[in-house]
Amino acid sequence: MIVPKPVRHESRPGSFVLDSRATLNADPALAEVAAWLRGELAPVTGGELLPGSGTITLTLGDLPPEAYRLTVGPRVEVVAGGPAGAFYGAQTFRQLLPPAAFRRAATGPFTVPGTYVEDEPRFRWRGCLLDVARHFMTKHDVLRFIDLLALHKLNVLHLHLTDDQGWRIEIKRYPRLTEVGAWRRESQTGWNGAMDGRPHGGYYTQEDIREIVAYAAQRHVTVVPEIDLPGHTQAAIAAYPELGNLGTPLEVRTTWGVGVNVLNVEDATIEFFQNVLDEVLELFPSPYIVLGGDECRKDQWRASPAAQRRMAELGLGAEEELQSWLIHRFDDYLTERGRRLVGWDEILEGGLAPGAVVASWRGELGAVAAARHGHDVINCSNTSLYLDYRQGPGEEEPVPFGTVLTLEDVYAFEPVPEELRGDPAAARVLGAQCGIWTELIDSSRHLDYMAFPRLAAFAETVWGPAERDLAGFRDRLAAHLPRLEAIGVEYRRADGPLPWQ
């Protein structure tokens, strides 16, 4: 009962016993995977899982990089196309152990029934966005979350690092971004009076970021940073008022919703963010960098003589074109440095920058349009994948946010939008991504509740075949939930929340 469901999974005669006598041999190219597996199995094996007669072996074979074959009999053999495949094979092996093996203090020996698994993912972008701007998650919480993504064979953590309500990454050249921008004061107003209003803050130092990126890389998760602009920038403007349009100081925003404060379009502002990006690129090896582009209100540009002058100089007729011009400049900047810009689907408005990848969130229309124009697309549809939405209609749900998105809704999701099926443009869909926006999620505990088990359903949709089998998924989930429990994940129970909120 593996989650996500492998391509092929059969029983075989015999069994394997995992105890302190087990040994682990790995191809040198898989040394990191072996080190990780030794660490994960240490509570079960009671020690080192040293190289020896090779009761567990990790080897390379002629397969795609993320594919693996796992055979369990008197020995355990993982044959993989590359380190990622070996890692997924090892993750599958862990799931063949009893749930107790996921405890930090586990007592073996554990017997694993004879098994053969053949597996590889359908999509290469299997992502989850975590908004650490609205509510900061500690480094420890992020590392733990990366382990949970990896357990489900997800491979992208999109970290939403900046927004109106907080700037969460240290930038050495501009210390006020975190000295000022990472902290918001107490307030009584807001969209959700019950949970908003407390003073709040926090940020990651560059050392923290390096650690997060390296930890994720060991687990074959790419951390894709987002610096949201030109909207969602009030925290940055609070730190450096010259970035805004008003010429008067602002504070880090203490309410939710789409704000009016956006960046100005001066050369100095573009240069400021290019300098920020220089540090970001240094920290994140990700080929993809997200620069937002979402929900940018144009009111201030309409009212600003400087913005209007710029539009006249550039011969632009509408403010949407001004945003598009700005995004093009950043697209050029990233392209020159060998990276690709990802933007939310609003970057389609006013003309899409040539190399840009579209993260389509407002349903799937953006995904269809961008793919047909030859752009790579990540399906982030809010109607299927926004895990900040409530999981049931009940009064006792901890999130007053209106839309209901059940486990079954997520499981029914298909990464390739219906309109693109059978169209060669479907090949432009790199994959899909859940969104965990945290206006109303203020702890790791609450994050667990919103993410699980819906993230397990998502993993099946983006790893496994296009066909859905809800009954089969329910069975797999019944076997999987005790693993989450052993890890200490407070997932949502089928009958609703426990009264901890």
* CB contact at 8 A, 432 and 411: no
Query: Is 58 exposed, middle or buried, given 0-12, 13-18 or 19+ CB atoms closer than 10 A?
Result: buried
Whole-angstrom distance, CA of residue 496 vs CA of residue 395: 10
Task: Tell me which residue has tokens 């050369």.
Answer: 267
Residues in the site for ligand TNX, rule: CB under 6 A? Answer: 294-295, 344, 361, 386, 388, 435, 437, 439
40 versus 294: smaller Cβ distance to ligand TNX: 294
Query: How near is the Cβ of 296 to ligand TNX at its closest, in Å?
Result: 10
The torsion defined by the Cα of 241, 242, 246 and 247, in degrees rounded to 10, comes to: 90
Task: Tell me which DSSP letter residue 406 carries.
Answer: -
Torsion of CA 60, 62, 63, 66, to 10 degrees: 30
Q: Which helix or strand (DSSP H or E) is residue 432 part of?
A: strand 429-436
**394/12 Cα distance (integer angstroms):** 45
Residue of 215, 112, 111 lying closest to 159 (CA atoms): 215
CB atoms within 10 A of CB 402: 7
Task: Please state whether 29 falls in left (phi above 0), alpha (psi between -120 and 50) or beta.
Answer: alpha
Question: Least CB distance from residue 358 to ligand TNX, whole Å?
Answer: 11
Angle formed by the axes of helices 206-218 and 139-151, nearest 10°: 20
Taking the complex as a whole, the smallest distance from the CB of residue 326 to ligand TNX amounts, in Å, to 17
Minimum separation from the CB atom of position 211 to ligand TNX (A): 26
The residue (of 83 and 417) whose beta carbon lies closer to ligand TNX is 417
Q: How far is the CB of 217 from ligand TNX (least distance, A)?
A: 26
Rounded Cα–Cα distance for residues 354 and 346 (Å)? 15
How far apart, in whole angstroms, are the C-alpha atoms of residue 442 and residue 197?
12
E-state strands within 73-175: 76-80, 110-119, 125-131, 156-160, 162-163, 166-167
Q: For residues 196 and 439, which CB has a smaller minimum distance to ligand TNX in the complex?
A: 439
Catalytic residue among 32, 211, 251, 295: 295
Burial class from Cβ neighbours inside 10 Å (0-12, 13-18, 19+) for residue 1 reads middle
Residue among 218 and 383 whose Cβ is closer to ligand TNX? 383
Min separation Cβ 303 and ligand TNX, Å: 23
Nearest to 250 by CA among 325, 259, 258: 259
> Least distance in Å: CB of 124 to ligand TNX?
22
Q: Which is nearer to ligand TNX, 98 or 392 (CB)?
A: 392
Pull the structure tokens for residue 380: 């982030």
Residue ranges of alpha helices (H) inside 124-266 are 139-151, 176-179, 206-218, 234-239
Residue whose CB is less far from ligand TNX, 117 or 405: 405
**Whole-angstrom distance, CA of residue 424 vs CA of residue 372:** 9
238 secondary structure, DSSP code: H
Give Cα 189 to chain centroid, integer Å: 30
State which residue, 27 or 295, has the beta carbon closest to ligand TNX: 295
Q: Tell the smallest beta-carbon distance from residue 437 to ligand TNX (Å).
A: 3
485 counts as catalytic: no
CB nearer to ligand TNX: pick between 6 and 231: 231
CB of 330 or CB of 361, closer to ligand TNX: 361
Q: Min. distance of Cβ 441 from ligand TNX in angstroms?
A: 10
- Known catalytic residues are 295
